[in-house]
């Protein structure tokens, strides 16, 4: 099985590539640097619309993970435009190219995020829930809509709405570990907001499951069945590191430091559940937050 991956050098993409190669499947990476081209690397440039359909012949599955990092810094108008365009252009280019192939890939798996639901307080969110408001929700709506050429061509399309993917090697957890190790961690803005999270191991397994499960289609929440309020999450992380968590972060300070980006990513509440993932037969290896953190942190110590 030949599997094409965009974003193969990212947190999920790198772990996913290792898993698939270990399973005896051939991973073909999409790259922007001609120096990286080879039998298992294909050139593309979403900004310029460069992706040759002939290079994709024989691809059985497309996994699209690439996109501008939403939480890399404050949102200026130019940065927000880059975030939106990176998801729309890349997804549409891949979907349109996959639709032209003969034979076509069996499945097109595209990343999205629980940010699709916006800030929803204590509301329980399933894949049937309506989209939310705000910039992140708009990005996710357009991101998912850009897969339409693939589904219109009869390709099974799975849109994975990832929660916070936990790994000590990247993402939110990597940023949180140092201050918590120094005893400077604590809940954010009172800690009542819900965090939908998933361990990196389970996130990778969910992507593999999406490839292999022929009945899985459409939006899928890739989150643990046990979402946690921010206060519980920070307490669990402090306990896993054997440190106190006595330094709460006021929401106003976060807004002052990071502006709209901080408010949308750290203060928004999303209590999402993996209804479709569990209904399709997926089994979580790390559904419990405390145990997941202990396992992840033991690997990095």
User: How much is the pLDDT for 207?
Assistant: 98
Domain boundaries, the chain: 2-167+196-224+271-285
- Domain 2-167+196-224+271-285: CATH superfamily, name plus number: NAD(P)-binding Rossmann-like Domain (3.40.50.720)
Residue 253 pLDDT more than 80? no
H-run or E-run covering 3: strand 2-6
State pLDDT tens for residues 74-108.
899 999 999 999 999 999 999 999 999 999 999 99
Unique residue bearing structure tokens 């918590």: 180
Block residue for tokens 């252009």 = 89
Task: Give which of 36, 47, 42 is closest to 59, Cα–Cα.
Answer: 42
Backbone torsion region of residue 7, taken as left when φ is above 0, otherwise alpha when ψ lies between -120 and 50, otherwise beta: left
Place of tokens 């979403």: 46
As given in the structure block, the two tokens for residue 203 are 């996130």
Predicted pLDDT at 300: 66
Reduce the DSSP state of residue 102 to 3 states and report it: coil
Cβ(194)–Cβ(146) below 8 Å: no
The closest of 212, 16, 227, 213 to 111, measured between CA atoms, is 16
Separation CA 227–CA 211 (nearest Å): 25
Computed over every residue of the chain, the mean pLDDT equals 93
Q: Is residue 301 predicted with pLDDT exceeding 60? A: no
For helices 11-22 and 200-212, angle between their N-to-C axes, nearest 10 degrees: 60
- Per-residue pLDDT tens for 22-66? 999 999 999 998 877 777 899 999 999 999 999 999 999 999 999
CA-to-CA distance for 95 and 158, rounded, in angstroms? Answer: 12
Closest by CA to 181, choosing from 268, 300, 14, 49, is 300
């Amino acid at each position: 099985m030949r599997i094409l991956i965009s974003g193969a050098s990212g947190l999920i993409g790198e772990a996913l590539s290792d898993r698939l190669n270990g399973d005896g499947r051939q991973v073909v990476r999409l790259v922007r640097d001609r120096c990286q081209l080879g039998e298992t690397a294909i050139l593309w440039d979403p900004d310029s619309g460069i992706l040759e359909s002939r290079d994709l012949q024989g691809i059985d599955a497309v996994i699209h993970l690439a996109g501008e990092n939403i939480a890399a810094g404050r949102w200026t108008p130019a940065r927000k435009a880059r975030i939106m365009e990176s998801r729309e252009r890349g997804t549409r280019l891949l979907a349109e190219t996959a639709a032209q192939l003969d034979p076509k890939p069996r499945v097109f798996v595209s990343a999205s995020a629980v940010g699709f639901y916006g800030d929803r307080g204590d509301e329980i969110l399933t894949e049937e829930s309506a989209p939310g408001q705000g910039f992140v929700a708009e990005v996710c709506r357009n991101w998912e809509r850009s897969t339409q050429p693939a589904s219109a061509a009869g390709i099974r399309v799975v849109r994975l709405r990832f929660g916070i993917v936990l790994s000590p090697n990247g993402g939110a957890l990597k940023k949180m570990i140092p201050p918590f190790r120094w005893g400077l961690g604590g809940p954010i803005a009172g800690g009542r907001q819900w965090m939908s999270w998933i361990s990196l191991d389970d996130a990778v397994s969910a992507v593999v499951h999406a490839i292999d499960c022929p009945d899985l289609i459409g939006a899928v929440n890739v989150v643990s069945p046990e979402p946690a309020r921010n206060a519980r999450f920070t307490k669990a992380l402090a306990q896993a590191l054997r440190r106190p968590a006595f330094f709460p972060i006021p929401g106003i300070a976060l807004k002052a430091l990071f502006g709209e980006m901080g408010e949308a990513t750290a203060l928004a509440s999303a209590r999402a559940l993996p209804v479709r993932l569990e209904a399709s037969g997926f089994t979580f290896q790390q559904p419990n937050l405390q145990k997941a953190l202990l396992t992840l942190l033991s690997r990095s110590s």
